[in-house]
Amino acid sequence: MNPTASPAAETGLEAAAAEKFAAHFIGGTWKPAASDERIEVINSVTEQVMGSVPAGSADDVDAAVEAARAALPAWKALTPQERAGFCTMIGYGLQDRAEEIAGLVSQELGTPVTEGMIIQAGLPAIDFTSMEYLVEELPWEQTIGNSQVIREPLGVVGAITPWNYPIHQIAAKIAPAITAGCTVVLKPSEMTPLSAYLLMEVIEAVGLPAGVVNMVCGTGPVVGEAIASHPGIDMVSFTGSTRAGVRVSELAATSVKPVTVELGGKSANVILDDADFEAAVVNGIQKCFINGGQTCSALTRLLVPREALPVVEAVAAAALAEIKVGDPTNPETQIGPMSSAAQRDRVRGYIEKGIEEGAKLVAGGPETPEGLETGFFVRPTVFSEVTREMTIAREEIFGPVLSILPYDSEEEAVEIANDSVYGLAGGVWSSDKERAVDFARKIETGQVEINGAAFNPLAPFGGRKLSGHGRELGPYGIEDFLTLKAIQL
């Protein structure tokens, strides 16, 4: 399959690929959908239809669950090491197709290919290949007094994933789930589903036993809700909006199945008064604008000492002047288009709201970037003198918009950082590492980076408050798909 090259510019798909996109992946085969209804996928640069996938139904979910349940006994009978071995092969398969993945996601989503090679192609491969090492860190069996405590797979997992990291978010669920001994029914986002087909091709090629991983495309209200409420699914892992996460939790509660949810964020990046302001601001903009700002853990609130505002604003304005917005296939592009027209309009609406509520516009604005009238582009934007009551300081924008909030004391900085319904990520900058770590301990989030430290794909990822519960990645990600049994001896 090579969906990034085709004689038909309006689809971006070859005939053979288009035929495969007409099916779901169920029981190790490409199974025709129960209905002819389709969901169009729009190229974020050209605004043209680049393909379509089936609009799955509850009947398709039933078939996928049946296949997953049939595969479960033999799959969980394998050792964790054997199951992790399949993940390693999948990871290598993704590595072999990294350029294809980055190219496809640049069309579906708008991620620049240079960035996409790292985060859209590189991270999913790590998600899978890390399993063979992580299985050795878990106490699969342990003795406590007269009890033998064993960890067992939860069963059939329903995985519902978002559009912003279309393969990584799938891999972060599938890899630990199948390593734990579970089988999976996946619903990828209907906005960026094509790359999920590429992953299923890799899974098919490595010979993963039929039914261990199944995929049904479709919308949240139909396929997502059928998965969440299905009596044959033992656990649901969801990543997406807080609103949708609440709905999934409500449906799953009818059968008392466990649910993990990774939801939104409005993360604070705090620059303390002894920090290197230039380095902190430049890095902070990068951490806010990663993947065009379409990242739940993006550091979208920059907290700075009030007296440092002029310096911070000058550095931010200069940094934005150097950012190249444009065609994501250009290696020099740093920010591509938003994922959809709706997302573009949403982001521009927040920029207008910031201006309306009195925030100081440092750079950017709601206007269309010059020369980019076609495509879902927005201007990277920085606001200053933002107060914690403003909409842009409280709501998740999911675009390249940074809010700079001044504080007058370190105690107030802690208050502002924690004054959010979310609690996913955060950052702290200081020339004194111990001081930064002490501050980080006071932030109510699932993770905090110090002085721009790199994302660790083996550390637990997840949040508090409306950012959700449960953890992905590392050995903690595997544990969420396991249940405990005590055998008294």
Q: What is the DSSP string of 301-330?
A: EEEEEGGGHHHHHHHHHHHHHT--BS-TTS
CA dist 104 and 119 (Å) reads 13
Q: Which of 87, 182, 288, 296 is catalytic?
A: 296
Give the Å distances, CA to CA, from 172 to 32, 257, 279, 471.
27, 20, 31, 10
Within its chain, how far is the Cα of 124 from the centroid?
11
CA dist 285 and 268 (Å) reads 12
410 is catalytic: no
3-state SS assignment for residue 375? coil
Number of H helices, E strands in the chain: 18, 22
Q: Kindly compute the dihedral angle of the four CA atoms of residues 431, 437, 438, 440, in this order, to the nearest 10 degrees.
A: 110
CA dist 299 and 216 (Å) reads 33
Half-sphere exposure of 370 (CA within 13 A, CB side): 2
Q: Is 454 exposed, middle or buried (0-12, 13-18, 19+ CB in 10 A)?
A: exposed
| Gap between the terminal Cα atoms of the chain | 54
Within its chain, how far is the Cα of 259 from the centroid?
17
Q: Which of 115, 190, 262, 396 is catalytic?
A: 262
DSSP E strands, 55-203: 141-144, 147-153, 156-160, 183-187
Within its chain, how far is the Cα of 488 from the centroid?
41
Can you tell me which residue has the tokens 């999948």?
90
CA dist 185 and 415 (Å) reads 41
Using alpha carbons, select from 91, 101, 109, 96 the residue that is nearest to residue 171. Answer: 91
Using alpha carbons, select from 400, 355, 360, 397 the residue that is nearest to residue 380. Answer: 400
3-state SS assignment for residue 191? coil
288 is catalytic: no
Give the residue numbers annotated as catalytic, written as ranges.
Answer: 262, 296
